[in-house]
Chains A and B, each alone.
Chain A
């Protein structure tokens, strides 16, 4: 893992302004920012970058996570339109099906659940985004089948 983090950091010139870019790439690779990453990133970016600053960035942006995320990331929109169309019920249904609440990850590392604000597809409410795929007008009845495709061996579990 350390080698990999070094490689990612070295994609960028050793300048402070690339801190966020490196953190984003680390997030993409590992699905979170492992504690080991900060000293290694700092080592590459040079002396005017401080570990504290990197950690501040990592905790400020929602796109960066300090806890490992699942292989598949479920995002449920809880914006106004989706909320009116029953996103709360959807959240509960996912909770019941997978045993995780918002911000959590299943013990097998397969799924994590997040709530997001309006994704701009209100006509298709309620929206559930898994990885990059938008599932629209999701119903309680349809939910289990969608989730199954992401379970180990499912067609979307790649």
Chain B
């Protein structure tokens, strides 16, 4: 058994030894240990190197406050920057120190100690600013060297999220939290109580107190057992309430839930009321070399002996400014540690404290001016607080306590404000901003009886019942005389151990004018990082106060931000496994497309669509060219299902459509369709599409695929907020109507081969007409619209019929060499026709006139969305960018988005290329562009200015193919 492990005591299981590896050394601990307690038990004292100066560091704390020993876990536990005090030991754990290479004992970066006086606060800001921080950043980041992120998510197990609602959420299962949970749980409230430790009890786990005359942990066990019997109570350990958001919404991360394969579960909790029972965190004292391995928070030393059965040293000096460390000294002595002396800055030590340690030498009115020893503490130098001769005491453990800070982080995140309390010398919760209350040490109730009482009171208030009886307990009074820093002595005195921020750094910041605590924080980095200043923040504020002669309450605190402690990204992400946040949308043909080797990708609004169908040996361009020729010369078919489709019903639909479209829709006869544009009221084109009038009061409106969701919002907002009395009902039917669109000069032949009871002659079913009936025996609505410029039949069917229809089309079309067409060819065909595409030609600056669509702007209607805005804008502007066609000279591709500049010179742009495709009709590249005054510049030559060359292009009308449109009407 390692020499520092006590033979008895602690909440570890000596029958369950565990092996682990730290920095390559194989070591042993016990079930119930943390990595930190196991390291101390093995006598490992040098566990880390500091962030900036690479000074030797040991273990400082015993819980989430640990600022010093951050480790990287390897193997199955792979994760970075974990405080060793919060890593439960398990068999096979592999850990290594961060911040040092190759080891904390022999660290190359320690050279920074020698040049330490040249790298004060702000050094990096001042030094690495020319020519730019980004030049230096990678090297500096590597030298700073926090742990690397794991290369991949854990192989075994997964993360999940869960929503929960409760009447009362209690953060913390110490004496106050447990008392609150018991009181409210017994009264029947839906209670959720979460605590960050592996077992309930809070500070009671670390101290030797009694409740009701018996050891306090007996009371804890009885409460936990009773809570387990209450079906209305959810009790979670190893679970951190890490964020408190608006409307009592809290983030609660449960580590290692009792569920095979589940690594962490992040609860999102909406709570009726919240009780912050988050306890208090001990702060350090600030003196020279207060970071040496072996200098430890008093409460941590107490925790190691009481909870883990580990002696963190053989001969201790206790340095304090308050009563709590006297109980620590008594516990250390009881554990067999020699307590050489208690150094107390107070001249009058309360009798109740002193009687706890009658055999110990108490030096009242003294301070530790420095710790001695290089790689670990070997003694301390002490001196009277008001000056005088110093002397030395040898020790290998210095347990210090600068007082207690209520853990107000959650409270503060809830926007509850804080007040400075002179008696406690710390910041306390004051006015609540949400339905929250603080109890126990988190509220400044530092004595056990007060903590139990405040918990019971809050639980009773939440449940609306009378105050229950409180069990008896005994505890020391909390009395403190502030000591923000020891002014005598030499050596670096650290305020923030994690970020290597010293008293000198804060003084420098103040001298350089950073006199607000938020500025001090940013300039020195004090209070940042993983521990978020849990041990050091108030000392920084105290140091600023001392230097400026201002009271702490005027300085205030820096902002407490979530997370309270680090949370893994996996827990936040939950079960998402794919590369996308929102799932893709599929049509019923996805399987067919994949089987037929389509190249699938997203083509707007998360729809997975076939881009093109390559045949063996075909290049991308060859495939697209082939598909284009098929449509222009023969017949092709594509899946048009993703097109946004809405059914409108009601007496006022015509009136409503007249308001949202620029042209008149209400005059349309049933059985006919009309193309239209929709503008926002500030005159921007938001969508285009076709409206079909099914009957007097029933319409189908199609929108572009990518804008279907936005248009749905637009329709509903107008109808519900502006026209609530209008009789119009909108139903999204995009996924209720699928379609196969047969297009090309032979489309009618394929329709005849399929067989239909609809008269498909041009006279009976003209362009923009539609009819209901059957196609290949399947109920269908046949619509004559065209997105390709060719004769097209859009065969709309129920989704369940689409695969069957598709197969029949392939069979019936085989004699005509029909082929499936991807979205790439569709894009080429629409560019040849000069059809606009949202996001290409419509970019949020153009209006219908710019696109040559002035005819669609009704003159008859006195008002419709966007009419007046367009008129106002056009009356005030010249040099509009207008849609034109372009033919690159010589024939070549111009990248989409290429700027057009006068003469191709380095001058302000006069437009841009919106699309450029290879036209199989013209056997050359053709494009579309928005060009200043383009409508009057046909025949001119313009220039696209690229990074490495200038390409000339001839300006043409925007329609490259079948300008009169006889093919689509055929």
Chain A partners chain B: no
